[in-house]
Amino acid sequence: MSTHPSESGTTSGRPAEGAALDKGLKGGALGLGSSIVLGVSSTAPAYALAATLGFVVIAVGVKAPAIMLLSFIPVWLIAVAYAELNRREPDCGTTFTWAARAFGPRTGWMGGWGIIAADVIVMANLAQVAGSYGYRLVGLDGLAGSTFWTTLAGVGWIAVMTWVCYRGIEPTARLQYVLLAVEITVLVAFAGYALVRVYTGTAPEGALTPSLSWLWPSGLDWSQLTEATLLAIFIYWGWDSALAVNEETREPARAPGRAAIISTVLLVGIYVVVTTATVAFAGVGTEGIGLGNEDNAEDVLAALGATVFGDDVLGRVFEALLVLSVLTSAAACTQTTILPTARGTLSMGAYRALPGAFARVHPRYLTPSVSTIWMGIVSIAFYVGLTAVSDNVLQDSIVATGMLIAFYYGLTGFACAWQFRRVRRTARDVLRRVVLPLLGGLFMLLVFVLACLEYADPGYGGTVFFGVGGVFVVGVGTLLLGVLLMAAWNVVAPAFFRGETMGRDRPPAPAVPDQLG
């Protein structure tokens, strides 16, 4: 039997803790361990470090580990907000549902749109990386440098991962275990090799001895701190996938929130250790393998792999595994980016914030059938379209996802503080449900404003529109597009925006079985 918010027994019509609309997903399919794996793999640690670490070091030098620690703080605060809101209502719509409860349907709709837009945009980058590294893994470097062949392979990756997500949550989780195991094993080996060579004196010229002072951001000016934090904070993005599968997790009110918090803690450990090892081994010089060399910034791990592991047989094996780890990282993140978006649109369809077809669940696989397929189709169309237009526009759109992430993360923090503003049970409850989420929301708001100011500079990024930086135009333009789409849906189906589908008087539409599967 479906349980909707009006069945909670509360006078407000909102669900009691642990209650949520049953949308037909496969309950109890995942445990705490699987949720943690999804949360960690969704951030693509290997790829995130490869693509971001060099730019962070260029900005702050040896203080890069401190930036990894500093960026963790607001992410952890938002993870606490997610955990508390999930305890109250474990709905796979996450920010969409929770923001709609707190601030009304329109704010909730925009929160859902922020998730959809960010995930579709980042899919283009992940597909491009997966396609390129797939060729590199088998020695086809010429194809890896071809836009056409890389795009073709990227489209194939999106199609395959869409199919895996369509077939069921258990196959998805099993594949994630394998992909994440490869990724973490190689990162640990990379950091271990680097540190051993540093302390044994066999590291190349320019190597540095790690210092505890690297963990504290003293001596940095405001512009350095801002630039590096904006870069680093978003390499944590993705852990919230553990919450998007809450309705398919055992103990849905507790386990997903715990998984999210544990994921962020594991991630900060991985990032600080690998960052420290990399900075120590390569140094921060601007020549050769130094991390201050801009030629290395776009892919630090590839630039250092051969030097770290050496030229013997074992070293060549690990160098190949390093390429494989970035490939599996991007592939895993492609898969776990489809998951939350499909479930977010499923929830929006169930509450009639989107067409009811998005609420269809496959009768056999118990996955969001229409939502999953549409996520794959839209991601492919966006990727191919922007690649055909301009590689610079594609890259600027990917950078602009940071603004969208700050938007919906911050909204979630504010929603938690608002939802629990009248709760006065214990000091601990007030701290976890109001104070910490509010701080997280304020921090994300600050990040959003700083990103707008920096990205509006026409010198930032690869494109300029009407004298304004293309990254800013894409980020703000995407949010404005969401406003227009929301207005259009309000005209077509206004019931959701009148509060009729989420309130007590008219329960949400039940899950719609997929008759096509």
Q: Lowest-pLDDT range, 131-135, 258-262, 353-357?
A: 131-135
Q: Which residues contact 352 (CB under 8 A, 6 or more apart)?
A: 493, 495, 496, 501, 508, 509
**Angle, CA of 178, 144 and 399, to the nearest 5°:** 75
Positive or negative, the CA dihedral 100, 374, 247, 478 is negative
Question: Does the predicted model carry a pTM greater than 0.85?
Answer: yes
Give the model's pLDDT for residue 509.
Answer: 41
- Whether 438 shows a pLDDT value over 50: the answer reads yes
- In this model, does residue 517 exceed pLDDT 80? no
pLDDT at 262 over 90: yes
**Percentage of the chain surpassing pLDDT 70?**
93
CATH of 30-512, one of 3.30.230.10, 1.20.1740.10, 3.90.180.10, 1.10.3720.10: 1.20.1740.10
Residue 63 identity:
K
Confidence category of residue 85, pLDDT binned at 50, 70, 90: very high
> 119-128, 302-311, 505-514: which range is least confident on average?
505-514
CA distances 505 to 13, 21, 461, Å, are: 8, 15, 50
Q: How confident is the model at residue 510, as a pLDDT?
A: 43
Q: What is the pLDDT of residue 511?
A: 44
What is the C-alpha separation between 195 and 209, in angstroms, rounded? 9
What span, in angstroms and rounded, lies between the C-alpha atoms of 163 and 156?
11
CA gap 390, 405 in Å, rounded: 23
* Cβ pair 410, 402 in contact under 8 A: no
Residue 10 has pLDDT above 50, yes or no: no
- The H or E element spanning position 464 is strand 464-465
Least reliable range by pLDDT among 22-36, 96-110, 204-218, 500-514? 500-514
Q: Residue 137 to residues 132, 148, 323: CA-CA distances in angstroms?
A: 9, 18, 6
Overall size of the chain counted in residues: 517
Q: Which of 284-288, 369-373, 389-393 has the highest mean pLDDT?
A: 369-373
Find out whether 448 and 78 touch, Cβ atoms under 8 Å.
Answer: no
Q: Are the CB atoms for 344 and 96 separated by under 8 Å?
A: yes
pLDDT tens figures, 474-515: 899 999 999 999 999 999 989 999 888 886 433 344 444 444
Q: Average pLDDT in the 307-332 region?
A: 79
Span of 58-72, 177-191, 263-277 with lowest mean pLDDT: 177-191
What's the rounded mean pLDDT across residues 378-391? Answer: 86
User: Encoding tokens for residue 332?
Assistant: 């895993």
Structure tokens at 54: 């060099």
pLDDT of residue 20: 59
Quick one: average pLDDT of 398-412?
90
- Note the pLDDT of residue 173: 80
Are residues 161 and 22 in contact, defined by beta-carbon separation less than 8 angstroms? no
Q: pLDDT averaged over the chain?
A: 85
CA distance 49 to 30: 28
Tokens matching residue 180: 């994440």
466 compared with 56, residue with greater pLDDT: 56
Q: Which stretches of 28-104 are DSSP H helices?
A: 32-41, 45-60, 64-88, 95-103
Residue 2 has pLDDT above 70, yes or no: no
Confidence of residue 392 (pLDDT cuts 50, 70, 90): confident
